[in-house]
Structure formats: structure tokens, C-alpha cells
Structure 1
Amino acid sequence: MSNKVPDKGRAEYNTSYKVGQDNIQFLGLDVLNPVFSTSAVLIFAFIIGSILFPADASSVLSGAKNWSINNFDWFFMVAGNIFVLFCLVLIALPLGKIRLGGTEAKAEHSTISWFSMLFAAGMGIGLMFWSVAEPVAYYTGWYGTPLDAVKNTPEAKDLAMGATMFHWGLHPWAIYAVVGLSLAFFAYNKGLPLTIRSAFYPLFGEKVWGVIGHVIDVIAVIATIFGLATSLGFGALQAAGGLHFLFDIPNTLTTQILVIVGVTAVAIISVARGLEGGVKLLSSINMIIAAGLAIFIVIVGHTGAIFMAVGSYFLSYVENIIPLSNWIGREDETFYHGWTVFYWAWWISWSPFVGMFIARVSRGRTVREFIIAVLLVPTAVSLVWMAIFGGSALEQVEMGVGELANGISDSSLAMFQMFAQLPLTGITSFVGIVLVLIFFVTSSDSGSLVIDGITAGGKTDAPMIQRVFWAILEGIIAIALLIGGGSEALGAIQAAAITIGLPFTLLMLIMCVSLWKGLHSDMHLYK
């Protein structure tokens, strides 16, 4: 990018670095060697260790995860609050007028397609998994209750709604927005490579092309590949559980592996087709199916109660966002550490992947448009989605209807157990499985694009075989972990990803300072 003629209205940095200048070519690959080789060695070392010694790996990495969460809970919480406030400030200030790509840059994707890709990559799969399980878990005290509410009481129900939205609302999307905006701005307005290290150029200067930058990018690659492989593995467990629930197909290792193979095969086709014919197409299809499923539940469910749930979720979110954001003197330690701090570390570990993908599809948007679309719109959509699915589930629990009334026994089956009390259970459950699988395909596809970009030194036109390589590797890792240690091995890699979230939280805070300096350097173009 920095070796191209700048667009009108772009203020490039004076750097001699050219995209791909340090890359090496071998076996049809075009990669930045220090990042590619170091990431590969560390990834395979972690995987082999987790497969050969799953119990030991789980113990060590879970200990590291728990140490990070228990000792730095305040750090995760403070950082999460800072990210939300930082984004809201950028919306309000004149800095929001700055356009990604220059004053005359045009948006490359329609608003609907753009939003669909943001949502599918960001947390579409998570909303399928947790929209039912999470509020029911909080209400029944499956693993602690928010703010120490007494379980199965009106107060617990109110807090279950507010806490669910707290975990899926402004805070996680602010984390994604900070990373995505930083990468998009420094790539499209400053002519730097579209890779994580570029966001630190205002602070470290030319040093970002050396060891400092290599370390930053390697951390991003490892966090991304571990997060994606873990989600793919756990997703296979959920999909296999759904197939067993719906069609009585045995939920065995073979079924789980076949699910991963199927998802990976579709992901390979999608990634080979590129952004337009792959992620963009699948994301649009998935959003249409998801909207149809939500509308169906509203129609066949208790419509009035669902509409009331939208207001209840919103009011509870507003009323409890400050108490839930607090990190001082919390008495609900099980809930606070086991849910909230865990979530913040998990979102941050995913932020390199989601943030870079958001940046890649957001050229031409203003800073204000970007943050509103990435922060406020998804929060509103999540609110409606949670009210429809979570509200329906809570009503079933209160009425003592179905298996959910007995509490959460298996979080992966919660959505299907809710569907079982609605008309056309078979159809809705099948649609739910399809949505889960397609969301996994879009996550794998977009993740492969991101990892490819980082390990190629910021190239967005690297050989297709590299994207295919990463898509295949994600599937292989997930299968190997399931075979080698099952959910225990997956848990170990998930713990590793969350542990990486701690140093990346510090990097994100530095990123905010860097972005602030960078945006101010462009303000003269908009006066």
C-alpha cells in the first residue's frame, strides 16, 4: 500500500517500508518469514503438547488463565470501560468526520452487506450458542448469579437479562471497534500495511518493521488460530449434539470429526472464491436465515411477552451497566470471574481477527459511521435477538415447561430444548444447526483471510493457496485436539487464547493512544 500513489485527501507517513519487501517465496507461498515461521513453530508446539499430554496441558494453561483472570480482573474491567468511552468520544468529536481512505474515498460494500459481514465475523455464532443458555444459566444460578441475586427470583430474572446484554453489548463491540478502526485508519489513511503492527507506528516509528512488530503480529496470529480452532472444536460438539437431539444421530467422535470436515470443506471453497464470492455471500445468506428464524419465533411464540422482553432487556441493561462494570468490592466472585472477566479476556483474544477483518471491509466509511455500525447497531440487534430467544427461554423456565425448567444441563443443547416447546420443532432445530454451521464457515473463512494477511506482511493479494492452507490448518487442529484429548484439550487451547488476551489488552490501550495521535494528524484535511 505504501508503494502506491496516495488517494486525494490521504496523509501518508514518510516510511521507506514497502508491503512485502521482507517476504520470502517458497512452495507457492509468499510470507513474512519471522512471523510465519515463529507462529507455525509455536502453534505446532502447543498442539503437540496438548495432544500428547492433554491433562498436563489443561492444568498448566488453565492455571495461567485463572491467574490472569483472578489477578488482573481489575485490568480487564478498566480496559473494557476505557474502550467503550473512547469509542463514544470519537463519535461525538469532530474526529468522527475523518473518512477511512481519504476525503473522497467511497464505500466498497453496500451497508447491508457490510453489516452482515461485521456481524457474522464478530459474534454470530456466539449468539446462536448463548442467547438461550446464558440468561437461563444466570436466572437459575447454574454458575453464579449476577450481583449475587437470589436465583429463581424476579430480581435474578431482571439481572439475567441485563447481564446477558452486558456481555454481548457495547463492551465487546468496543473492543472490536478499537482494533478495527486503528488498522483501517493506518492502512487506508497513512499507507501502512494492513497488519496489527501498523497501529503502533505513531509511537514506535520504523521500529515496528523489526522485532517489536514481529512480536505483536505473532501474538495476534496465535490468538486468532487458537480462538478459531477452539470455537470450531466446541462448535462441532454443539452441532453433533443438535444432530443427536434432532435426528438421534450418535454424538460420537466420528460425528464431530465429520462436522469439522464438512465445515472446513465449505470454508475452503468459500475462501478460494475470495471476499466477494465467499464471506460476503455467506454472511448475507446467514443474516436472511437468522432474521427469518427470529421472526418465526416471534409469530409462533408468546408474541406479546417477546415484545415486552425487548423493553425489559433494554431497561435492565441500562440500569445495571454501571454496577456490572464495577470491579471494586464485587461479592459475586463466581459470576464475576467465571463469566464477565472470562468474556472480556475472550473478546480481547478474538479482537486481532475480528478487528482486522472489519478493517478490511470498511474502506470509505467515516470514523463516525464506522463506530456507529460496529458499536451501536450490533448492540441493538443483539438486544432484539436476546429478547426473542432468551425471553422465550426464560418464559418457559418460569412456566415450568420443557427441559429448560430443570436448569442448564448442557449449554450446547439449550437452544434446541427451547425449540422443542415451539411448533415445527424439527424445522426450527434444523435451521438452527444450519445457522451454526454457516456461522462457523464465515468465521473460519474470515479468520483465514486475516491470518494470511498478517503472515504475509500485510499483503491483501497473497496467493490463494495461503488462505486455503490456514483454513485447512484450523480444521486439522480442531480434529487433532478432539482425537487427542477431546474437550479437555480444547479447553487447554482456549485457556492459552485467553491468557494471550492479557498482554493484548495492554497493546490495545497503547493502540488507543496511537490512534488518537494518528487521527489528530489528519484533522487539517477536514477543515
Structure 2
Amino acid sequence: MGEVVKDEYQTDYVAGQDNIHPLGLDIHAPVFPITAILVILFVVGTMMFPAESKSMLDGAKWDIIATFDWFFLLSANIFVVVCLALIFMPVGKIRIGGMDAKPEFSTMSWFAMLFAAGMGIGLMFWAVAEPVAYYTGWYETPFNVEANTPEAADMAMGATMYHWGLHPWAIYAVVALSLAFFAYNKNMPLTIRSAFFPLLKDRVWGWPGHIIDVLAVVATIFGLATSLGFGAQQAASGLNYLFDVSAGVNVQMAIIVGVTALALISVLRGLDGGVKVLSNINMGLAALLLFFIVFAGQTMVILETLFVTSASYVANVVPLSNPFGREDEAWFQGWTVFYWAWWISWSPFVGMFIARVSRGRTVREFVTAVLIIPTLITVLWMSGFGGSALEQIRDGVGALAENGLTDVSLAMFQMFENLPLTGIISFVGIILVLVFFVTSSDSGSLVIDSITAGGKTDAPTSQRVFWVVMEGAIAAALIFGGGEDALGAIQATAISAGLPFTAILLVMTWGLLKGLAHERKLLIAKGEL
């Protein structure tokens, strides 16, 4: 007989037990109304005073970044180390959902969904713009490397990969694994508060948990609405650049309506018929676009850039992660710390969605897929897009070489101009951008609905419809009422939320490690591991 080990994470709480049912809905009593009131008040106030709100909130955002830059960088480093350790630790054999659980989705569909939700849209815009910005000295350069030199080209690719590689995915992985473990192995509600059970025990089902969930929902709504709003502006700019279509408010509103309508259809079709299908389409189109750029462009240069990017990333990941004694403070505060705060503010949304689709995977399989595979794919993507753009600049070809980085949203299209079939691949690029927005809106709605339903994943479809429409309405209202100032104010709020969420994630990491260690003891005692 093995040692008898008591399960310390048993709870009588059932997902949705505190819910109320007005008008056929199934909503968590404190979280839903508090969130709705806060969002409405904030959006109305921002629309009424857009410039003032942006100025005040931007000031707060940059004060937080400047004061806590060291905290963001150290925390992100901790998340990477923990995730890498989990791949090799004995707890890696634990399976999400129990040792007999089977994956709900094929490996390719699973990977496509987590990648599309994680950062697919960002790669479309920054894969060209960010390396170009560093190489040309558009803003600041990492370690103050002299712009437009071979050293600047190497550093541009390595620093770009640093922002899109292990660190952001480690942030997502910690949140996702914590939520998946406590939801599927401990039968707790699929909501952020469950990850804090090791610290708060049953108090997590009271007001401390309500506050955690409200903060998570507000951050998710603001992050999605901001991305949808800025994405509409960027897509409109692309249409204007390619087809001379007006990029005004009316076109932006039409794009938001279209994206929201598609997200609505996707939500009604569910995970299998909606998000999974769109994510597979996205990955297929993205792969075709990448292969075309590699083989229609300067193939040997891009392949060489692949090795340069990998080598520069490996060589610089530790120096770039150092928060102390930096001489390039303006660069790492303006880029790295900004990125880390944004990834952390998005982690409740992306982490919960990844958790939602990851039942049946082992911890080792999960962390490898969420951390390592996206990083390898991103190296390919950045080398193809960023490498092509830098080579065009060095050859003196195209708008990027002539005028530099004038508009971030147009950088990708300006790079496409110097490739065959420019119109076709640019149109494919716009389609990819829009479909990535649809998958973000759709998956975000599933997450918000789960939290506001007390952790239930089978709440009425009408609630998911409500959240899809609400995200589009908020973005449209901000654009119509306050334009870029209003969107900037909401973005500043989402990024500022990254500070408390960083502390929350550190506590969550401790709880996860404690929970996994205890689960391993239980499984060994039962003879299942």
C-alpha cells in the first residue's frame, strides 16, 4: 500500500453555484454587474474627455514603466525559468484533466488556436516594422548600437525575437497551465480566481475572488477593444494604401461591424465549428504567405537571416533581460517593458483560452507546445518578413529604403511592394489581419463569458453573443467619440493593469508549483504515476 496522501485542494464549490438567471441568462451575481458598470463608466468618461483621459492615463502608464522596469524584467525572467524547468521536472508527466484524459483537438488545430489567440495579429504588423525601427534608428537602438550598420542589423533581428520569443509565451504558459490544472484536475471553476486557491483556500469564492475576476474581465475587455479599434484603423490604412479607399471613421466603423459579424457567426458555431476552423484557415494562409516571401524573395538572404536571427537571439537574450545598469534605458523602457506590461495585461484572456482548449495534454507537452514551438515558428516568420525588409533597405529598394519607417501600419505593405504579385499578397495580408481579429474577438468572448458566468463553460449562447457585440460596440464608440486619443487612453489603462497582474502572476506561479508537486504525490500514492 502506498502512502495515504490527503488532497488539500478539495472544495465543495461548484462552478456557477452563485449565479442568478435574469432573462434566461446564467451570470455570476457580483462579477457581471460590477464589470458592466465599471466598463460603461470608463468608456463614457473616456469618450467625453478623450484628450484629457489619454494625457492623464499615459502619464500614469509611463510612471509605472519607469519606476517598475526592473520588476517587469525580473518577473518575466522568472516565468521563463519556471517554464523551462517544468519541461524537465518529474511533474511534467502529469496530464491535464487526469491521467486518462484525452485531447479534445488534434495537435495542429490546438497549436493553431493557441497561436492565433496569443499573438498572431501582432506578428502581422511588427515583423517588418520592429526590425526596421531598430536598424534605422527610428526610435532608439538596443544597447545604443549605431544605426544602419551590420551590427545594427544583427541586433535588430535578435532584439525583435527577444520580444516575441520565450518571454511572452512563458507569461501565457504560466497563466494557462495554472487555470487548466485547477479547473480540470481539481474540478474548480474555469476562472482566474481558482488559481489562487492554494493561497486563499475557500475565501477565493468570496470577495477576494470577485475582485480578481473583475480585474481580469476589465483588462480583457479593454485589451480586446483597444486592439479591435487600432486594428480597424490599421486595416483601413492598408485599404487606403492599396486601393485608395478612404481611411476615415466610416470605413473604420464598417471594418469593426464586419469583424464583429464574423466573430458572432464563429461564436454561434462553437469552438469546433468556429474558432478552430478560423484558426486553421489563419495558419494555412500565414504559412502560404511566409513560403511565398521566402521563395519569391531573396531566398538565400532570408535563410542566412534565419541563422543570424537565431544566433543573435541566443547571444543577447541574457544581456537584454538584465534590468540593472543599462545604458539604453530609453529603448528597453519604451520597448521591452512596454511589451512585457502588455503581454501580462493580456495574460488572463490568452491564458484562459489556451487552458480551455488544452485538456488531455501532459504538463511537459503543454509547456513545450506553448513555449518552444511558437518561438521556433516566430524565428522563421521574423526572418522572412524582417529579413526581407532589411535587405531591401540595404539594397536601396522601395519606400522603406527611400523614406524610412513613416507609418508602422503600412510597413508590411511597403515591403510587399518589392515582391512579385504585390496586389495579391497584400490582399492576403489584409485578410489575415482581419481573420486574426475575428479569432481574437471570438476567443476573448468565450473567456469573458466563462469568467462572468462563474467559471461555467456551458452558459447560454446569448451571453457569448452579448460579449461579442459589446466588444465591437466599445471599439466603435471609442473611435466615433474620441478617435485615437480615446483608444490610447484605454490602451494605457490596460498596460497599467500589467503592474498588479505581474504580482498576481508571481503568486499564481507559486501556487502552480505547489499544486503540481502535491498532485504528483497523490498520483504516486495511487500508483498512477
2:286 pairs, out of 284, 290, 300, with 290
Contact 1:10 1:190 in 2 (8 A): no
Structure 2 residues without counterparts, runs of 5 or longer: none
Structure 1 residues without counterparts, runs of 5 or longer: 1-8
In the TM superposition, residue 474 of structure 1 has moved relative to its aligned partner by 0.7
Matches within 5 A, 1:169-188: 169-188=165-184
1:4 equivalent in structure 2: none
1:361 equivalent in structure 2: 357
Q: What secondary structure is seen at the aligned counterpart in 1 of 2:26?
A: strand
The whole-number CA distance in structure 1 between the counterparts of 2:202 and 2:265 is 38
Is 2:428 the partner of 1:431? yes
Matches within 5 A, 1:202-351: 202-351=198-347
Moved more, 516-525 or 437-446: 516-525
The whole-number CA distance in structure 1 between the counterparts of 2:292 and 2:112 is 20
In the TM superposition, residue 105 of structure 1 has moved relative to its aligned partner by 0.7
1:5 equivalent in structure 2: none
The whole-number CA distance in structure 2 between the counterparts of 1:236 and 1:502 is 28
- AA matched with 2:493: A
Q: Deviations over 1:3-35 (max 9, x none)?
A: xxxxxx996832121111100111232111211
2:418 equivalent in structure 1: 421
The whole-number CA distance in structure 2 between the counterparts of 1:429 and 1:28 is 45
2:502 pairs, out of 487, 498, 505, with 505
Matches within 5 A, 1:28-47: 28-47=24-43
The whole-number CA distance in structure 2 between the counterparts of 1:521 and 1:334 is 44
Q: What secondary structure is seen at the aligned counterpart in 2 of 1:99?
A: coil
1:475 equivalent in structure 2: 472
2:447 pairs, out of 447, 450, 458, with 450
Q: Deviations over 1:357-376 (max 9, x none)?
A: 00000000000000000000
The whole-number CA distance in structure 1 between the counterparts of 2:361 and 2:7 is 16
Is 2:72 the partner of 1:76? yes
- AA matched with 1:435: L
In the TM superposition, residue 521 of structure 1 has moved relative to its aligned partner by 1.0
Contact 1:13 1:191 in 2 (8 A): no
The whole-number CA distance in structure 1 between the counterparts of 2:29 and 2:409 is 40
Is 2:407 the partner of 1:410? yes
The whole-number CA distance in structure 2 between the counterparts of 1:200 and 1:258 is 41
Is 2:520 the partner of 1:523? yes
- AA matched with 2:352: M
The whole-number CA distance in structure 2 between the counterparts of 1:439 and 1:206 is 38
The whole-number CA distance in structure 1 between the counterparts of 2:6 and 2:99 is 7
The whole-number CA distance in structure 1 between the counterparts of 2:503 and 2:117 is 23
- AA matched with 1:114: W
Moved more, 148-157 or 111-120: 148-157
The whole-number CA distance in structure 2 between the counterparts of 1:12 and 1:396 is 60
Q: 1:165 to 1:94 in 2, by over 3 A?
A: same
Percent of counterpart pairs with the same letter?
66
Is 2:384 the partner of 1:388? yes
1:22 pairs, out of 18, 23, 41, with 18
1:496 equivalent in structure 2: 493
Contact 2:349 2:444 in 1 (8 A): yes
1:401 equivalent in structure 2: 397
The whole-number CA distance in structure 1 between the counterparts of 2:372 and 2:243 is 39
The whole-number CA distance in structure 2 between the counterparts of 1:164 and 1:206 is 43
The whole-number CA distance in structure 1 between the counterparts of 2:433 and 2:383 is 19
1:146 equivalent in structure 2: 142
Q: Deviations over 1:34-66 (max 9, x none)?
A: 111111111111111110000111011111111
Q: What secondary structure is seen at the aligned counterpart in 2 of 1:309?
A: helix
Contact 1:180 1:359 in 2 (8 A): yes
1:189 equivalent in structure 2: 185
In the TM superposition, residue 329 of structure 1 has moved relative to its aligned partner by 1.2
Question: Number of residue pairs matched?
Answer: 519
1:165 equivalent in structure 2: 161
Provide TM-score, normalisation by structure 2: 0.97
Contact 2:9 2:197 in 1 (8 A): no
2:114 equivalent in structure 1: 118
The whole-number CA distance in structure 2 between the counterparts of 1:298 and 1:466 is 43
2:44 equivalent in structure 1: 48
1:130 pairs, out of 122, 126, 129, with 126
Contact 2:193 2:213 in 1 (8 A): yes
Q: Deviations over 1:202-252 (max 9, x none)?
A: 111001000110111011101100000000011001110111111110111
The ranges of structure 1 where at least 4 consecutive aligned residues each deviate by more than 2 angstroms after the TM superposition are 9-14
The whole-number CA distance in structure 1 between the counterparts of 2:398 and 2:45 is 42
Q: What secondary structure is seen at the aligned counterpart in 2 of 1:143?
A: coil
2:90 pairs, out of 91, 94, 109, with 94
Q: What secondary structure is seen at the aligned counterpart in 1 of 2:156?
A: helix
- AA matched with 2:215: I
- AA matched with 1:448: S
Provide TM-score, normalisation by structure 1: 0.97
The whole-number CA distance in structure 2 between the counterparts of 1:516 and 1:297 is 42
The whole-number CA distance in structure 2 between the counterparts of 1:64 and 1:331 is 24
CA-based RMSD: 1.2
- AA matched with 1:167: H
1:66 pairs, out of 62, 65, 69, with 62
Q: Deviations over 1:244-287 (max 9, x none)?
A: 11111011111111011100000000011110011000000110
The whole-number CA distance in structure 1 between the counterparts of 2:204 and 2:60 is 28
Q: Deviations over 1:47-97 (max 9, x none)?
A: 111100001110111111111101000110000000000001111110101
Q: What secondary structure is seen at the aligned counterpart in 1 of 2:104?
A: coil
The whole-number CA distance in structure 2 between the counterparts of 1:447 and 1:115 is 17
The whole-number CA distance in structure 2 between the counterparts of 1:217 and 1:60 is 26
The whole-number CA distance in structure 1 between the counterparts of 2:40 and 2:308 is 47
Contact 1:10 1:102 in 2 (8 A): no
The whole-number CA distance in structure 1 between the counterparts of 2:6 and 2:116 is 30
Q: Deviations over 1:350-394 (max 9, x none)?
A: 000000000000000000000000000000000000000000001
Q: Deviations over 1:174-196 (max 9, x none)?
A: 00000000000000111100000
